[in-house]
Structures are given as C-alpha cells and as structure tokens.
Amino acid sequence: MLELTLTPLEREALALSLRVALWSMVLSLPFGVLTAWLLARREFPGKALFNGLVHLPLVVPPVVVGYLLLVLFGRRGPLGAWLYDSFGLTLAFSWRGAALAAGVMAFPLMVRAMRLSLEAVDRRLEAAARTLGAGPLEVFVTITLPLMSPGILAGAILAFARSLGEFGATITFVSNIPGETRTLPLALYSLAQTPGGETGALRLALLAVVLALAALAASEILARRLRERIEA
Amino acid sequence: MLEVTASKRLGEFVADFSFSCQAYGITAVFGKSGAGKTTLVNMLAGLVQPDEGRICVAGTPLFDAAQGLDVPVERRRLGYVFQEGRLFPHLSVRGNLHYGLRRAPPDERRIGFDQIVTLLGLEALLGRRPAQLSGGEKQRVALGRALLANPRLLLMDEPLAALDQPRKQEVLPFIERLRDELAVPIVYVSHAMEEIVRLADRLVLISEGRVEALGPVEDLTSRLDLRPLTGRYEAGAVIEGRVLGHDEAFGLTALSFAGGTLRVPRLALGRGAEVRVRIRARDVALALTPPEGTSFLNIFPGVVRDIGREPGPQVDVLLDLGGAALWARVTARSRHALSLTPGARVYALVKAVAIDRHALGRASPDR
C-alpha cells in the first residue's frame, strides 16, 4: 500500500528542493532578462563567445559545471574566498551553493524563453512610445517588459522546474548533506543506493513527477492569463 | 516655421530634402510611394538620423550635423500618428491616451484629456483594448494619444492609407475638427490628392528623395509642369470661394469666386464661409459660345492659358476664369474641332453634381 502522507525525511527533501529552486529562479531572473536583452538587442565584440558561455551548461556534463563552481566558489576559490571575506558567505556544502548550481544549470533555458519573447516584441511600438515622450529605459519598463512578460514567466517556470531536478552539478559542488543539500533528486539517489530503499525511491520519483507537472500546469495557466491581458 | 535641410543615404536611395515653410495649419507632403515621404517624416521625428543637414521646428533646432546636435526622439515633442496606429496592446484605450499626456511637461498641457475624448468621440471606447477596436477607431485613438502628448507639431504618416473608403470618411472629419479647433500645426503625409485638397493648407511635393515644389495647394495642382507628379487621372483645379447663399427649394448653394458664381449641391455652411472646391478636369466641358437649353448650371467665360502636351486621345486644357485657374479635360479631337490654342476665348461648363462634399476643404490661410 502506498502511504499518502509524507515522512519527515521526504518533507525535508521537498521543502529544501522548493527553497533551492525558488531562490535560484528569483536570483537569476534579473540576469536572465539582462542577458536576453544583450543577446537580442545589442551588438558587441565577443558576443558569440558570450552566447557560448551562457549556453555552456546545456552542453557540458553537469559534473563539469559543478566542478568549475567548486574551483571558483570553494572556500579557497577566488570568488569563494572573496565572498567569505567580504560577506561571511559560504556557498560550498550549503543549500545556497545548491541554489547557485541549479541557477547556473537552468540559466540557458530561462534566457532562451526570454530572448524569443523579446525578439517578438514589435519595435515599432517602442518607437511610438518614444515619440510620446518616454526615454529608452522608460520604454523598456512600460512597453518592452510587459509585452515580453509571457516569455519571462515561461522562462522563470522552466528554470524553476529544471532547478527542482538538478543533480549532477549539485552533488559535485555541495555534496549530499541531509537537511542542507539533500534535495529530492539527491535523496532519491541515496535511497536507490541503499538496500531496501526501493519503495522510498519510488515514492520520491512519483513526488518529483507530480511536482514537475504542477509547475508546468501553473506556467500554462499563468501564461494564458497574461496573454489574455495583453491581447484582450 | 519648419526649416529642413537633410540628406540621408539608404542603400541605393538618396534622400536630399531642402525646404522651409510656415508650420501653422496643415502642411501636406505628397509624393508617389518610394518618393521618400516616410524618410522625411522620420527624420523630423528623430527616428531616422540624417547624414547631413539641419532641422529646425518653430525656431528650435532639433538636428544639426555641423554642431553635432541630435535631440533624442522623446525630447523633440513632435507627435506622430503612424499608418498602422501602433497602439500599445497591453494598455486600454484610456491607458494609451494617458501614456503621452503623463509625459508632457505640466506647464505645456494645453490640450486636456476630456477635450480630446469629446473631440474624437472616444467616450465609449475608453475601457476597451486596442484588439477590440475597428481600424477607424484605432486611428482615432492614435490621433488622440499623439495630441495628448501636447506636441509642438503633429506628424501624420498616411494615417488613412490602411483604412477602406467608409473608414476613411469616418476619420477625415475628425482630422478636420482638430485642425480647426486645436492650434497644433500638422505635417500630413499622403499619396491621396483628395485628402490633401480637403485638409491641407500648403503642399510639399516630393519625388525621388527631393522637394520638387512647395506652395499653396491650388497653385501646385494647377501647374502643368507638375502634372506628372500630381497625377493625371485625378487632375483638377482647386478654387477658393465664399458662400453667397442657399437655394433651399432646389437644395443648392451658391459660391462666389473670381470667375463668377458657382452652384453646388447644398452645403452645411453659413453665409460668408470660405471654402475650397476641387473641380476635376474630367467634370469640365468646353464650348465656344454660351450654350442654351442645357443642364449645366455653371457656365463661365474664360481664356485658354495652356494646353497639356501629354500624348494620348485626351488633352488637359488650363483655363483662366477671371483669375481663377480651372482644368478641363477634352478629347484631342474636340480640341482640334474647336481649334483650341492659348489665348482662345471659351466657355467652361461645370456640372453642379460633380462637386460633392468630399471635394471641399477649408480656405487656405496662407493668402
């Protein structure tokens, strides 16, 4: 029989996963919009390289990303040491590091959705807004952002769902610490490695599927609402 | 004043405009498609940067290549009504109207929200989204939005071109009203002569990226040398007149003009009102003696000034009716039969029914 209430361990993994995914999504949002804008609207030297870097997590093994994060953000890494000395912030082996790893891995997906919607924004509307007295930044905030909002939302949800499932980069960068960095996929992995953990692993797998479906459904509903508001 | 010297190379096309004229009332920019009308307006608006030149509106320099001056679009304070409306789809009609108004400097807001809503008849539309509007309604909202930004000059780039005939007739009276009721100078781009005759005070004729002629509408449309540009099919003359009175029994209005009294179908205008009437060349016939027993209400003695040299079975004859210019289109055969040559005395016959209200415009303030 399948017990429907979650065990304390499952609840802990679920809560941690949601926290990690939420933070990774929220913190990468502004960078996502900025990157999408740079890629869609700007020409600058090294743009091809920049584009490649943004998309790197899609094509290299997640372990590589996790390892690079460990090198850069580990306690003795150049960025990790700076963060610790300046803010007392440690990423390695903490849930914050898990959020960073998830954010980096999901970033290309987020940027892609945003970039597509930004490219679909009619630039003639932006020109019209300028003739009405709005400066470039004002035009971006009052015209461009609202018009690309379905893409921002889609990118955010996609990144959220991707973060929920992050495994390779996370386990490499922040390890598998119960209550700290053991998110759903890591808990599932641990159970699958343990003799007699099959039932627990199956329950977590089902939970992950339900979670992903819920995120996708939420994204569909919100995107439709937004589109209706825009096109009425 | 509108002072423009601006050149721009766009691939093979070179625009090189140079003109200056009064700005009050409506200045029409007329030319065939590809003549560079939109390029000219976009350079005024700041959406296209000229390679060389200087642009000055009402004494304020907006662009000066020599001094490295290029006032950004949003600070030029020129309104722009685009051919396709360009309403913001995520805002209601009210939101669209407020967009420009909110950004106009408070001490320069001469035109208010309620005034525009009434003038353009937008009350019923305020809560709607642009997607729920018809083409004509969209253009009215676009017009209101541009005006509420309280611009120093309003640019209109073929605002009626995307509309079918009934929608055009729906929007035209609104443009006339804002011309007459708001003191906003307008630059009106069009390739439709009937719109220009009805609306414009002066005409800037452009062709292949250059200004070919500039002057009052009636002068340019009566010039033979400009005929290839003003168009042959819709050829006609524009006459200025004053309402003498109405013949209520037969529903006619009498207009006095330099050549005599012109009778047209009843106009809803008061006595003494000044109007401009466009008479198409194909609605004017010629006779050597005043005909009797005819249905022509309008018979004017005149002198042949010039005769068109375009080849074909028809010729256009320019007449002088006591100072007013009038075109008549006759067959080459009739021209031969009547031995029409410059200096010949003739009678011009104009059918009253040929003149409808769409051929009417306000008298030009330039003279």
B298, B305, B315, B299: which is closest to B347 by C-alpha?
B299
CB contact under 8 A, A231 and B47: no
| Predicted pLDDT of residue A103 | 96
Residue B168 pLDDT = 84
As a whole number of angstroms, the distance between CA B65 and CA B143 comes to 31
Domain ranges of chain B: 2-230, 236-362
Average pLDDT over residues A143-171: 92
CA distance B297 to A113: 71
Residue B362 is predicted with a pLDDT of 60
Residue B129 with chain A: CB contacts under 8 Å: 231-232
A4 pLDDT higher than 70: yes
Q: Find the mean pLDDT for residues B68-81.
A: 94
The answer to whether A129 contacts B88, with C-beta atoms less than 8 Å apart, is yes
- Label residues B24-48 b or e (16+ Cβ within 10 Å = b): bbbbbbbbeeebbbbbbbbbbbbbb
The third-level CATH classification (topology) of the domain covering B236-362 is: OB fold (Dihydrolipoamide Acetyltransferase, E2P) (2.40.50)
Residue pointed to by tokens 């996929």: A185
Residue B367 banded pLDDT, cuts 50, 70, 90: very low
- Write out the DSSP string of A72-97: HHSTTSHHHHHHHHHH----TTSHHH
User: Measured between CB atoms, which of B76, B90, B100 is closest to A230?
Assistant: B90
Asked whether the predicted pLDDT for residue A136 surpasses 90, the reply is yes
Cβ distance of B82 and A124 shorter than 8 Å? yes
Among B174, B98, B28, B37, residue whose Cα is nearest residue A132:
B98
Q: Model-level pTM?
A: 0.80
B131 to A147: CB separation less than 8 angstroms, yes or no: no
Mean pLDDT on A50-64: 94
Q: In what order do the strands lie in the sheet with B2-10?
A: B13-21, B2-10, B52-57, B60-64, B69-70
ipTM of this complex > 0.85?
no
Q: Is B126 on the interface with A (CB under 8 A)?
A: no
pLDDT digits (tens, 9 = 90+) for A106-121: 999 999 999 999 999 9
Task: List the one residue out of B165, B176, B77 whose CA is nearest residue B120.
Answer: B176
Sequence-distant contacts of B43-46: CB under 8 A, at least 24 apart: B43/B4, B43/B6, B43/B8, B43/B15, B43/B17, B44/B4, B44/B78, B44/B153, B44/B155, B44/B187, B45/A131, B45/B73, B45/B76, B45/B78, B45/B80, B45/B155, B46/B70, B46/B71, B46/B72, B46/B73, B46/B76, B46/B78
Fold that domain B2-230 belongs to in CATH: Rossmann fold (3.40.50)
Mind listing the pLDDT tens digit for each residue in A66-82?
999 999 998 888 998 99
Q: What is the mean pLDDT of residues B340-359?
A: 79
Pick the residue with more confidence: B170 or B141? B141
Among chain A residues, CA nearest to B75? A133
- Hey, what domains does chain A have and what are their CATH numbers? 8-39+47-231 (1.10.3720.10)
Q: Do domains B2-230 and B236-362 have the same CATH topology?
A: no
**What strands lie across the sheet with B345-350, from one edge to the other?**
B284-287, B345-350, B298-307, B314-321, B324-331
Radius of gyration of chain A (CA): 20
Contact B104 A135 (CB under 8 A): no
Indicate whether A31 pLDDT > 60. Answer: yes
Selected residues 151-180 of chain B with any CB under 8 Å from a CB in chain A? none
Tens digit of each residue's pLDDT (9 = 90 or more) over B285-309: 899 988 888 888 899 999 999 888 7
Q: What is the pLDDT of residue B365?
A: 52
pLDDT band at B360 (very low <50, low <70, confident <90, very high): low
* Other beta carbons less than 10 A from residue A37's beta carbon: 18
The helix/strand/coil state of B8 is strand
CB B41 within 8 A of CB B217: no
Q: What percent of chain A has pLDDT over 70?
A: 98
**pLDDT band with cut points at 50, 70 and 90 for residue B265:** confident
Q: For residue A50, name the pLDDT band (cuts at 50, 70, 90).
A: very high
